[in-house]
Amino acid sequence: MSGRFRRVVTGGAGFLGSHLCDRLVAAGSQVVCVDDLSTGRRRNVAHLVDDPAFILVEAAASRQLPVEGPVDAVLHLASAASPPAYLARPLQTLAAGSEGTRRGLELAHAHRARFLLASTSEVSGDP
């Protein structure tokens, strides 16, 4: 993977996160997808798991970002993305937003990497 950009995508098995992982791999980046699969789905990234440019790490961004090696960018999309999902798990949703952001910022800072925070809730309209 030498010479490639290495991107960490939290919530990478979610609807938008998985499409972002697809685009980043297609563009030649190595992608580390961190998702606890509480609202994201393994099937969203199943077609990528055998690609050497893709790594799926099953973990909650709010608890840990177990990513080894260099990182060029951290893209934080982890969160429940609809009222029914986040009302069912309010504390986990708040933790993904606050602690997940903090952990992503710490990872980016440690690697002098760029950081992007994206709220993907309700961007596609009323659930």
Per the CB < 8 A criterion, the answer to whether 85 and 39 are in contact is yes
Looking at the domain 6-117, which fold is it?
Rossmann fold (3.40.50)
The single-letter code of the amino acid at 102 is R
**β-strands 6-10, 30-35: how paired?**
parallel
What tens-digit pLDDT sequence spans the chain (127 residues)?
455 799 999 999 999 999 999 999 999 999 999 999 998 999 999 999 999 999 999 999 999 999 999 999 999 999 887 778 778 888 888 888 899 999 999 999 999 999 999 975 655 555 5
Give burial (CB, 10 Å; 0-12/13-18/19+) of 66. exposed
Tell me how far the alpha carbon of residue 82 is from its chain's centroid.
17
